[in-house]
Each structure stands twice: as structure tokens, then as C-alpha cells.
Amino acid sequence: MTAAAVPASRDVRVISLIGAAHGASHYYQLAFATMLLIVREEAGLSFADVGLLAGTFYGVSGLAQTAAGFAVDRFGARPILAGGLLLVGIGLALTSMAHSFAAFAAIAVVAGLGNSVFHPADFALLNSSVNPARLGRAYSIHGVGGSLGWAAAPVMYFLDSLFGQVGAALTGALPGVVLAVLVWMHRGDLVDHRAKDRAAAAARGGAPALSLFLQPAILLCLVYFALIAANTVGIQQFAVPAWVSMFGLSENFAALCLIVFIVGSAAGVLVGGLFADRVRRHDRVASIGLAVAALLTVPIATQSVPPTLLLPLLALAGAAGGVTGPSRDMIVRGATPPGASGKVFGFVYSGLDIGSFLAPPLFGFLMGKGLPAAIFWIAVALYVINAFLVMVIRQSTAPATPSAAAAD
């Protein structure tokens, strides 16, 4: 059965499951960094150490993600996705036993390997299993799942208050195990993409992967994702201690502010999904959303907003950035040749890990130097740079590429 012929109920199951798996990926990214902040003083870690460890997680994930894309094309997306879910869950559980920088670094490697599989596996399964007429909405739900995963991660602070560090780590590890089982149970709904991709690759002559990755549009997408990830990580991993320092908030209220920001982003992604199904100039949607997010972040960077207005301001800023999510995925799909989705999505989305690897050491250094506001000035700058960059990506994409990619 082709993706176009499947009933809507099956699409709902597939989209929901892949969206939840993507949520687990984002949840574990931030939950790992949150656990590092929770145990920082007891384990003798500095803020710079936390940034370096979080950077290690993303560095391993980024280096492995392109290889994960090849593994998805070789062994299938279903077992690779289930294995990644198990591995990131185990990684968070292991933080309950770590007491040194070296131990946390080893855990970061394990968890980073697990995190590397999600984008190539997720998009391979969505593209092969979902009716193409519903792909815009599928990408939207995929993005919402990621945002909600980030929103769930600050709950680690509350789990620590209830169960202590060990209980928080073990409880936080459960979603990955449960979702790995669900992926295996629903393997009949998840279409193996390999036969279609191999046929498409043969039809286009099987271009070498290196020449594919060196296409200007693909490289620019990689840079775009690296910069947007650096921005996102700076806010998510260090916003709680930064807001405590800048505005005199309690840790729990600062965590609530972060949750509101991420939930606002999720709401924006839902709206962005509607735009993605109805507009052709996805670059305009992305650039406008990023520009608005930059404007809304300025009052936070200048500390000119009272703490009572942080919640609505952060909700709006998160929504403005979230609107861009589905459009960015459609931009990548439009730049992807037929039969190369696993490899291209693995390569391009490794930019998320590259940016996430580079940013934490810088932001940890700034926190250690008592410069929390600098995090948000950097966020403003990166929003603006990406608003321009996404327009350049549009100009670098050949007009014939989107229609060709639609056949994938």
C-alpha cells in the first residue's frame, strides 16, 4: 500500500507515534542538561563544565547523525528509531550513578549516539508512511512533539524536589523505554522507505553522497540549522539560572517561564503547519517569524520588562519562533533530490547538533563570568542572521527542485 492510499486513521497513528518519538528526543536533550544543573554543586561541576558536557552530547549526536542517515537507509528506520529511544533513556538513567566529570562525559557520548537517529529515522518514516497531502500537517505535529518534549524537560526540577536526584533520573528515563516498545508494536503501520528510495536513487543515476552534500542549498540549510540550534540551546539550557540572576526569580518560577516559552513555541508550530500547507514562499514565513522573535527578545536582553510580564512576553516570543518550524522542514524537503531523504535529512539536521555543540561552552562561560544578559543578546543576533539566511536559501534552490522532491 502506498502512502497516498493509506486511510486517515493510519496516518493519525503514524504521525502521533513519530511526533511522540521526536518529543522524546527533545525531552532528553534538555533533561540531560537539566540533570547536570541539578547535580552541579554536589558533583563539583562549574557552569563551564555543564556547557562542555552538554556540548559533548550534541557533538557526538552531530557527528553520528549523518552516519545514522546511512544506517536508516541500510537497515530500515524502524529498528534504528527504537534503538535510539532506548539508548537516550538509558543515558538519562545512568546520570543517577555518576559523580564525576569523566562519568558524565561517558554518559553524554551514550546519550548523544541515541539522539543521533531521530531526524533521519523520523522523516524517512513520515515521508514513506503518510499521505503526501497530509505531510505539511505531519511536519507540524512532528515539530509540536519536539517543542512539547522541551517543555516537559524542566519537570526534572520538580521530580528532583519530589524524589531526589536518583529518583528524578530513573523516572525521567521511562518515556524512552515505553516509546521504543510502542515503535516495535506499531511496526506494521510504519512503512519501510528503502524500496522506494532505492528505486528513486536508481532513476536519478545514484549520485555520490559527497556531491549531494556539497550542493549550495543543502550546505546553507546545514548552516541555518546550526545557527538556530545555537540560539535555542542558549535559551533552553541556561535560561533558568539566567533569569534567576537577571530578575531575581525563584528557580521554580524561572522553570515555569521556560515551560511557557516552549509551549508558546509549540502553539506557533501548529499555526506554522497551516501556513506550510497553504503557501509556497516558506522562506517568507520563516524570515518574518524570526524577525518578530528577535524584537520580542530585546526587552528581556535589556532587562526592561518587569518579572510579571515575562510569561506573556515569552509565550509570544516562543510562538513567533515556532511558526517557522514546519516551513523550514518544507524548505529542506524542497531542496532534497528524490531518493535521498534519509541521507539529506541526516546531514542537514546534524546542523542542529553542531550548533548545540558549539553554543553550551560559550553560554556556560558567559554565565560563569556573570553575564546572563549576553545570552539573550546573542539570541537576538542569531534570530536576525537566520531571518536573512533563510531568504538566501530560497535563492539557492533551483526552481525545479521542489517538484522533484515532491516525488520523494
Does 4 fall in a domain?
Answer: no
**CATH number, domain at 111?**
1.20.1250.20
The cell for 402 is 521542489
Span 267-294, mean pLDDT? 81
The cell for 126 is 513520515
Span 298-321, mean pLDDT? 92
Confirm if 120 and 128 have CB atoms less than 8 A apart.
no
Helix H or strand E segment including 108: helix 101-115
Query: Comparing 80-84, 113-117, 161-165, 381-385, which segment has the lowest mean pLDDT?
Result: 161-165
Instruction: Give this prediction's pTM.
Output: 0.70
Q: Model confidence at 315, in pLDDT bands (50, 70, 90)?
A: very high
Classify residue 337 as exposed, middle or buried by CB count within 10 Å of its CB (0-12, 13-18, 19+). buried
Judged against a pLDDT cut of 70, whether residue 367 lies above it is answered with yes
Most confident segment among 134-138, 316-320, 328-332: 316-320
How many angstroms separate the CA atoms of 288 and 291, rounded? 5
Span 288-317, mean pLDDT? 92
Nearest alpha-carbon partner for 301 in 245, 357, 248, 372: 372
First to last CA, the chain: 16
Does 2 fall in a domain?
Answer: no
Helix H or strand E segment including 169: helix 155-185
Does 1 fall in a domain?
Answer: no
Kindly give, in sequence order, each residue whose CB lies less than 8 Å from that of residue 116, ignoring residues fewer than 6 positions away. Answer: 60, 61, 62, 63, 64, 65, 67, 68, 84, 353
Query: Comparing 190-194, 313-317, 395-399, which segment has the lowest mean pLDDT?
Result: 395-399
Most confident segment among 277-286, 288-297, 355-364: 288-297
131 dihedral zone (left: phi>0; alpha: psi -120 to 50; beta): beta
Does 3 fall in a domain?
Answer: no
Higher pLDDT, 338 or 261: 261
Judged against a pLDDT cut of 70, whether residue 106 lies above it is answered with yes
- pLDDT of 209: 61
Instruction: Give just the sign of the alpha carbon dihedral 358, 284, 265, 90.
Output: negative
Q: Which residue segment(s) compose the domain that 169 sits in?
A: 9-406
How many angstroms separate the CA atoms of 189 and 373, rounded? 47
Span 114-118, mean pLDDT? 92
Question: Residue 190: phi, psi to the nearest 5?
Answer: -95, 105
Q: Model confidence at 2, in pLDDT bands (50, 70, 90)?
A: low
Judged against a pLDDT cut of 50, whether residue 399 lies above it is answered with no
For the stretch 27-74, pLDDT in tens is: 998 899 889 988 888 888 888 888 889 888 888 888 888 888 888 877
The cell for 375 is 545570552
The cell for 237 is 539550557
Query: Comparing 16-20, 119-123, 232-236, which segment has the lowest mean pLDDT?
Result: 232-236
Query: Residue 338 has what DSSP assignment?
Result: T
Span 358-375, mean pLDDT? 87
The cell for 324 is 517557522
For the stretch 238-258, pLDDT in tens is: 888 999 999 988 888 998 998
Does 307 fall in a domain?
Answer: yes
Higher pLDDT, 326 or 241: 241
The cell for 110 is 551514550
Largest CA distance in the chain: 61
Query: Residue 337 has what DSSP assignment?
Result: P
How many angstroms separate the CA atoms of 269 and 278, rounded? 14
Q: How many domains does the chain have?
A: 1
- pLDDT of 403: 37
Query: Comparing 30-44, 100-114, 318-332, which segment has the lowest mean pLDDT?
Result: 318-332
Query: Residue 3 has what DSSP assignment?
Result: G
Distances in whole angstroms, Cα of residue 166 to Cα of each of 94, 135, 160, 217: 9, 40, 8, 45
Span 176-184, mean pLDDT? 92
The cell for 90 is 538509558
CA-only gyration radius of the chain, Å: 20
- The three-class DSSP label of residue 206 is coil
Mean pLDDT score of the chain, rounded to an integer? 82
Query: Residue 268 has what DSSP assignment?
Result: H
- pLDDT of 384: 92
| pLDDT above 70 coverage of the chain, percent | 87
- pLDDT of 167: 92
H helices of 214-349, where? 216-247, 251-278, 282-301, 310-322, 324-334, 341-348
How many angstroms separate the CA atoms of 245 and 289, rounded? 28
Question: Residue 320: phi, psi to the nearest 5?
Answer: -60, -45
Q: Model confidence at 402, in pLDDT bands (50, 70, 90)?
A: very low
